């Protein structure tokens, strides 16, 4: 990943950072889906330069990275964030400064927290009724996480969910693919700066 642009989120007294994250990241996700590669991956990766911020765990900055400047131009982030201009600032495309000494892998982390989803899945796998599956999970306490997340809205299933983001730093660059959330599908890394 040799080129990047930064999107700074701008909360105010009326609109909090979580709400802005939800709306900005939803639009970026839609843009990545609209620009996905032939194999369903994304040529664009995302980074959270302020990940671990004490005030807001994801910070207030989202970075988009690509191998070429053309890929970022084609994505056209300003078009997708046009209705959020009061709450976001997009920089011009810049080249990543070399040498890069640290790399990071941002991945989606999923947890078994939704009893109804688990029950629906069990119905399909075990040929049980929904009532039987719900009875199986009665008393189940889902996993909890302290990982940062973005509240998202599934446009295909009309459901809300939390997109948990896990970060792993390394000294080595690892090539790989990114999903349409801009997160690593495997162990793909991006420059950390």
Note the pLDDT tens digit of each residue in 179-192.
999 999 999 999 99
Task: List phi, psi (to 5°) of 75.
Answer: -60, -40
Q: pLDDT of 113-150, one tens digit each? A: 677 778 888 898 898 999 998 888 787 766 667 899 99
Closest of 181, 58, 170 to residue 108, by C-alpha: 181
pLDDT of residue 168: 97
Check pLDDT > 80 for residue 164. Answer: yes
The whole-number average pLDDT for the span 150-168 is 90
How far apart are alpha carbons 87 and 147 in whole angstroms? 24
pTM for the model: 0.84
Contacts of 89 (CB under 8 A, 6+ apart): 7, 8, 10
Rounded Cα–Cα distance for residues 183 and 165 (Å): 8
Q: Is the pLDDT of residue 95 over 70?
A: yes
SS3 94: strand
pLDDT tens across 68-91, in order? 999 999 999 999 999 999 999 999
Confidence at residue 141, expressed as pLDDT on a 0 to 100 scale = 67
């Amino acid at each position: 990943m040799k080129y990047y642009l930064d999107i700074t989120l701008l909360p105010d007294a009326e609109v909090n950072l979580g709400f802005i994250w939800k709306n900005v990241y939803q639009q970026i996700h839609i843009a990545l889906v609209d620009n996905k590669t032939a194999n369903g991956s994304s040529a664009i990766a995302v980074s959270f330069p302020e990940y671990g911020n004490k005030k807001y765990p994801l910070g207030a900055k989202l970075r988009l990275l690509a191998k070429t400047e053309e890929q970022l131009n084609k994505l056209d982030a300003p078009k997708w964030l046009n209705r959020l201009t009061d709450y976001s600032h997009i920089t011009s495309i810049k080249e990543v400064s070399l040498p890069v000494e640290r790399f990071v892998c941002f991945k989606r982390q999923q947890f078994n927290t939704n009893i109804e989803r688990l029950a629906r899945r069990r119905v399909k796998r075990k040929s049980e009724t929904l009532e039987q599956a719900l009875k199986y999970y009665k008393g189940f306490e889902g996993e909890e996480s302290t990982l940062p997340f973005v509240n998202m809205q599934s446009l295909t299933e009309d459901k809300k969910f939390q997109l948990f983001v896990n970060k792993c730093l390394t000294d080595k660059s690892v090539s790989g693919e990114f999903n349409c959330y801009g997160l690593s599908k495997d162990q793909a890394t991006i420059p950390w700066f």
